[in-house]
Structure 1
Amino acid sequence: MTEAQNCRPTRVLIVDDHPAVREALAIRIGRQADMAVCGEAADTGEALQVLPACRPDVAVIDISLKSGNGIDLIRRIKDRNALVQIVVWSMHAETLYAERALRSGALGYVNKDQATDTIVEAIRKVRRGEVWLSEAMTQRMLHRSVGVRHPSSASPLEDLTDRELEVFRFIGRGVRTGEIAQRMHLSVKTVETYRDRIRTKLDIVDGAQLACIAAQWVLENERVPR
């Protein structure tokens, strides 16, 4: 970070599909002398629309958005402005999404169960170009980097690609194949291919079992209604 950058507040873009969450975070950031909210968005389209005028230093992004998803948005923001640092602030377990977020270009992952002080400190750290992860997730990734399977690596969903995981989540919410295709801008045939791959990777017998398992996962992992 240059001396000039140190002399002005960090400009923060908040991307979350819940207005109350955006408002609460904006108030918390507004209390920091070294930060200022430069823009807000509820989904991918809004975020990309405000990005040029907002000129954020850091974007705080949720995984689940009004339309689109946070992992894809991370890539698209970095494609447009590689200087924007990104931290994910999500209710989803970091064991499943943190590594995906970092591979896409983010530098941090904070679970919403943690105090808002945590996301504020994460913003400061990623602004400096440093990685923010929990100690448990850091150890997990270090184990993986040296080829050791971490004891907590139990979820078979880790083997799903980002697109497959997104389809799995839609299935769990009860979204039909045609609508999944529309939301993801894919053909129905492509979505059906993803469904088949998910069943194979998770060793699921049929579509009914897939819907049941996906619904249970959504129930346990997405506490906020979507």
Structure 2
Amino acid sequence: MSENLQRVAIVDDHPMLREGFESLIESQPDLTLAWAACDTQTALQKLEVDKPDMIMVDISLPGRNGLELIKDALALHPSLNILVISMHDETFYAQRVLKAGARGYIMKVADRETLLQAIRTVLTGQRYVSPAMSAQIMEAFSGYGSSKAVDGVQRLSDREFEVFQLISEGKSTQQIGDILNISVKTAEVHRAHIREKLNLEDGASVLRFAVRWAESQRLGLSL
């Protein structure tokens, strides 16, 4: 019977949440925990010797983030099913993680049944996002979305996008550095690159644009 169980790995740096996911997986008759990791480096080491049927990845990991883990994991195992779990609003990251190769995105505030639905959907090789986000992604992928905002923001690297999202929340450079576990100098460099790529004059302009962009994404509007 154990041979028929789907093996799920979990990568999350929050012990209580990770243990909660582990308990959820083990409570299901068709699922079992393959292994768990708290960061990208450990996860990749485990992936080299043990490929599960799916990995659940937190987007905000210490050091190299979840987006980088997705790309590296798929380089090792191109057919690997990946479900991203995050505290971040899906409007910020869903499109980006799907383009990176993940098959699904779900927020950690989702209820138990919704999370299990997402897990089982991704295990079949299908994509999973919320119905509202699905419509927004289809619009953006079809080329009918906000061209200025989408084009500008899509030029950002994954790390720059994380910084951009934190700027939209009003976080200072020091706070951004603390959250992402990078130096203030590195955070300032990312902010400068964001300003250049979005063709904005100064930090205040970046903040205004980031706030407007974030709100437009939540409401499904164009800038």
* TM-score where L is the length of structure 1: 0.75
- Paired with 1:81 and 1:201, the residues of 2 have a C-alpha distance of 32
Distance 1:115 1:40, change over 3 A: same
3-state SS of paired residue (2:128): coil
Gaps of 5+ in 2: 214-223
Amino acid at match of 2:45: Q
Aligned length: 207
2:104 corresponding residue in structure 1: 108
Paired residues for 1:116-131 under 5 Å = 116-131=112-127
Amino acid at match of 2:138: L
2:79 corresponding residue in structure 1: 83
3-state SS of paired residue (1:147): coil
Amino acid at match of 1:27: S
Amino acid at match of 2:41: G
Paired residues for 1:42-81 under 5 Å = 42-81=38-77
Aligned partner of 1:32 among 28, 31, 38 = 28
Check conservation: 1:87, 1:106, Cα contact below 8 A.
Answer: yes
Check conservation: 1:89, 1:119, Cα contact below 8 A.
Answer: no
Distance 1:209 1:17, change over 3 A: farther
Confirm or deny that 1:206 pairs with 2:202: yes
172-181 vs 35-44, which deviates more? 172-181
Confirm or deny that 1:138 pairs with 2:155: no
The Cα of 1:121 is off from its aligned counterpart by 1.6
* TM-score where L is the length of structure 2: 0.76
Aligned partner of 2:19 among 20, 23, 27 = 23
85-94 vs 109-118, which deviates more? 109-118
- Could you report, residue by residue, the CA deviation over 1:63-119 in whole angstroms, capped at 9, with x for unpaired residues? 101221111100000001123200001111111111111111100001112112222
Distance 1:214 1:18, change over 3 A: farther
3-state SS of paired residue (1:131): coil
Amino acid at match of 1:65: L
The Cα of 1:136 is off from its aligned counterpart by 0.8
The Cα of 1:166 is off from its aligned counterpart by 3.1
The Cα of 1:205 is off from its aligned counterpart by 4.2
3-state SS of paired residue (2:126): coil
Amino acid at match of 2:72: R
Amino acid at match of 1:148: Y
Check conservation: 2:57, 2:85, Cα contact below 8 A.
Answer: yes
3-state SS of paired residue (2:32): strand
Check conservation: 2:89, 2:107, Cα contact below 8 A.
Answer: yes
Gaps of 5+ in 1: 218-226
- Paired with 1:169 and 1:158, the residues of 2 have a C-alpha distance of 10
- Paired with 1:93 and 1:21, the residues of 2 have a C-alpha distance of 17
Check conservation: 1:85, 1:129, Cα contact below 8 A.
Answer: yes
